[in-house]
A and B are shown apart, each in its own frame.
Chain A
């Protein structure tokens, strides 16, 4: 045990949280299924997944509020498996805020410092410092029930940050707020994190929030880690069908590679579509089971119009008919039925679209077009 500790101290000084093969079973389900990962100092890392995927359980294991059945948790290079929550160098911002209703804002924020027996003048100074950081000046003597949702959120944040934890754990911190406030707090969270430099470990089911807030994202499903990467990696090159669809790539094609020609792979989809996929260094051809295309990467032009200049031999172009149009203001979502195949493409069209100025309506004959580079390979 001590050898392991020394080892991780020596080699990974900038790793502030490490999970090694963590498993947690609840009766009937495996909430966390052999998860290992490393979180670097100073980053905002998000666990992203649908509800019940085990992301909150994982966070509670890090906090010590739940005990793993197997595996190690290291905070700041120190093994904390057997430490109770009050001895771990991390702090949690709860979804319900969990402010103490009988204490003022000041006493709430100072709670942990009192427990650490910090002298009173220092408590006062550190609490005031954090009150300023989260823009709550003048609210010191209010009680939680006198605060709005956003203000309670800020108190909860300050209450944890004042302890200067190695890792700050955020359990769906924005889920309880309304949409406008959520956006505002998202910006605030990022500003505060950049200012204090503390590592944030965030849990969310909202892919937009994860994309805009995080430095890195881990997508989870049924207790398993599916993919870890930066927001653009996760969004643009999801490896699995689940990650692709969870991140909004609604056009997913199943099939297999049947041949190769000129550095391109010939892919035959289950519904009869044949396209040329660019080869990938990461994924062997025989493991490819499909590809996905984001709806905003597909262009529509009216049938019979001149082929756009950018069109090259490897681009995919398919004739079809517009089935449905959902007007959403900033863009329109179209459903296009491809001829002679059981494919309904989802296409986003912005109003600034550069093609022929014409109204796309239901029943319109079109050609759907996307470049070879916009296709992302899937392995399962």
Chain B
């Protein structure tokens, strides 16, 4: 009994240490982004001037807009591709289905450096896609769609397909069935994948760095380029921006999932 209590105490301490280790850099970045210190590396009183500087900096605003556009397009196209692919992988029977299903994992497990350099060669030597928006967006779709496929496929496996049969039976064509029944049922999964894909695309550095070309600076690339001149407090504010967007996305995913499982448990108790 006593032994158990000691073990759980040790575990508790270790967990706290791990959390501190993981969180302290991010918390420091957020705290220092409000600090008056001109190197952004110690606390010298509260200020919002770095945020003002961030907003007035044309380069930052440019990079932020570019990142938002890329992430926005990527989210829409990736979830669309993901939904269609998952539906096909689940519903259709064809030769090589298992192979295709496994190979979709590749962009997730491949090292970003490999994917990035492969895409660069592909874009410049083989298909001649101009570097900039087109190349960045295509590259992001390549590594983001698999995520959507897997999230939506996972939902489909827990799906009661008799809903679809019932809709057909009640007179809805396959297209109408998807619109009125299957689609709405998949919406939570589609939303969840969108919420995860947005930060993925928004803070990707490695792959984007390879395919961005000259002049198409996204926010992560801008941050990297600024680090050559040493850390500035503006970087801290951008870091804060990244952390909060990602956290917001995760929070929304959590919320959607809670709403969803909430429905299920209520159904169970009735």
Contact = CB atoms under 8 A, between A and B. Distances in A.
Is the A/B pair a real complex?
Answer: yes
- Main SS class of interface, B: helix
Contact of A85 (B169, B263, B266): B169
Interface in A85-144: 85-87, 91-92, 94, 96, 98-102, 111-112, 115-116, 144
Interface string A43-73: 0000000000000000000011100000000
Interface stretch (A145-153, A235-243, A279-287): A145-153
A84 interface: yes
Interface residues of B, number: 22
Contact of B170 (A64, A65, A102, A163): A163
Contact of A147 (B160, B184, B185, B270): B270
A166 to B, nearest CB: 14
A159 B162 contact: no
Interface string B164-207: 01111111110010001100110000000000000000000000
A111 B160 contact: no
Between A94, A96, A115, the greatest number of chain B beta carbons within 10 A of the residue's beta carbon is seen for: A115
Most chain A Cβ neighbours within 10 Å, of B165, B184, B185: B165
Contacts of B160: 96, 98
Given A98-B160, A101-B263, A145-B267, A92 B166 contact: yes
B12 interface: no
Contacts of A86: 168-173
A65 B167 contact: no
B162 A101 contact: no
Contacts, number: 69
B163 interface: yes
B168 A84 contact: yes
Interface in B121-171: 160, 162-163, 165-171
A99 B179 CA distance: 16
Contacts of B166: 92, 94, 98-100
Nearest to A147: B270
Contact of A102 (B169, B172, B185, B266): B185
B270 A91 contact: no
Contacts of A115: 170-172, 176
CB-CB nearest 4 A-B residue pairs: A112-B170, A98-B166, A145-B267, A98-B162
Interface of A: 63-65, 84-87, 91-92, 94, 96, 98-102, 111-112, 115-116, 144-148, 159-160, 163
Interface of B: 160, 162-163, 165-173, 176, 180-181, 184-185, 263-264, 266-267, 270
20 contacts: A63-B169, A85-B165, A85-B168, A86-B171, A86-B173, A91-B170, A92-B166, A94-B165, A98-B160, A98-B162, A98-B166, A100-B180, A101-B185, A111-B180, A112-B170, A144-B267, A145-B266, A145-B267, A146-B266, A148-B270
